[in-house]
């Protein structure tokens, strides 16, 4: 687990080579197998049981799979992580994981050249729409966590808009989705700035930021790091959102109205 997290902490795929990405996937896989509490018949069953002991590691495993271009496997693990977080009443992280499952599916559909329609329950569009609806059910005393949910919702909406943009008959829907994402993110930023200002007045101090190794679901960009303009930036997409090039190319067509 330590080596797997160290590899994820290195950063985007420009820094991590293919060998390291594969090693990270294998390290997470072996960790989850070793965490399995029963002697299951198959490796997949052992992995799933290992995930139950640590949903955080399950989410990380899904991200490692995405980084290694194993999008279908990443989707399966992120859906599992979503279910596991939900089972322990952690709705916020469950929603984040489900949104990631939708993003994984979008990557897979883009690579295959087959963007599924809305009649398919397992399509990226349907998963993303369902996850976006679930964001309103997220509850927590952790304001930062709720802010990350909204930031993740903005990311999911933009991916959904990019998929809809590829269908000329859905371009109005894509524009509405993009507009809603930007509006929600603007509101999030304003609320976060107000909270920071209010807190500084109470404590008579200036806010400070700290840097740390990033590998966990709680390291995800929050309110003051995520904005509509940043979500359009390819460096941000690579370094903080961990989007593969195929997804970046798809979203850039939306932003450039191509």
Name the residue among 43, 110, 48 with its Cα closest to residue 79: 48
* Percent of the chain whose predicted confidence (pLDDT) is above 70: 93
CA distances from 216 to 139, 176, 251 (A): 20, 32, 25
**CATH architecture designation of domain 2-255:** Alpha Horseshoe (1.25)
Q: What is the pLDDT of residues 150-160, one digit of tens each?
A: 999 999 999 99
Assess contact for 178 and 126: CB atoms under 8 A.
Answer: no
Q: Are 162 and 250 a contacting pair, CB within 8 Å?
A: yes
What is the enclosing helix (H) or strand (E) of 157?
helix 143-165
CA distance 49 to 110: 31
| 66-85 burial: b if 16+ Cβ within 10 Å, else e | bbbbbbebbbbbbbbbbbbb
SS3 220: coil
Name the band, by pLDDT with cuts 50, 70 and 90, for residue 116.
confident
pLDDT digits (tens, 9 = 90+) for 26-41: 999 999 999 999 888 8
Say whether pLDDT at 205 is over 90: no
3-state SS, residue 212: coil
* 232 vs 243: CA distance, rounded Å: 12
Residues 6+ apart with CB under 8 A from 79: 97, 98, 101
Q: Does this model's pTM top 0.85?
A: yes
Pairwise CA distance, residues 20 & 68, whole Å:
9
């Amino acid at each position: 687990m330590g080596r797997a997290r160290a590899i994820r902490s290195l950063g985007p795929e420009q820094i991590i080579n293919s060998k390291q990405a594969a090693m990270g996937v294998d390290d997470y896989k072996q960790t989850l197998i070793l965490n399995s509490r029963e002697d299951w018949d198959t490796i997949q069953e052992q992995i799933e049981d290992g995930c139950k002991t640590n949903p955080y590691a399950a989410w990380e495993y899904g991200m490692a799979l995405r980084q290694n271009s194993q999008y279908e496997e990443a989707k399966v693990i992120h859906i599992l992580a979503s279910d596991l977080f939900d089972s322990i009443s952690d709705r916020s992280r469950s929603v984040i994981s489900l949104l990631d499952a939708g993003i994984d599916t979008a990557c897979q559909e883009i690579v295959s050249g087959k963007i599924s329609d809305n009649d398919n329950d397992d399509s990226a569009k349907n998963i993303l729409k369902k996850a976006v609806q679930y964001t309103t059910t997220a509850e927590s005393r952790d304001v930062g966590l709720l802010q990350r949910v909204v930031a993740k919702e903005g990311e999911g909406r933009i991916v959904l808009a990019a998929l809809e943009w590829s269908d000329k008959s859905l371009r109005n829907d894509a524009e509405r989705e993009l507009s809603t994402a930007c509006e929600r993110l603007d509101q999030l930023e304003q609320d976060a700035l107000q909270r920071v200002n209010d807190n500084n007045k109470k404590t008579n101090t200036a806010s400070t930021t700290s840097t740390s190794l990033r590998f966990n679901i709680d390291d995800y960009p929050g309110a003051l790091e995520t904005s509509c303009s940043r979500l359009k930036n390819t460096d941000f997409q690579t370094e903080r959102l961990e989007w593969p090039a195929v997804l970046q190319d798809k979203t850039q067509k939306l932003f450039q109205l191509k």
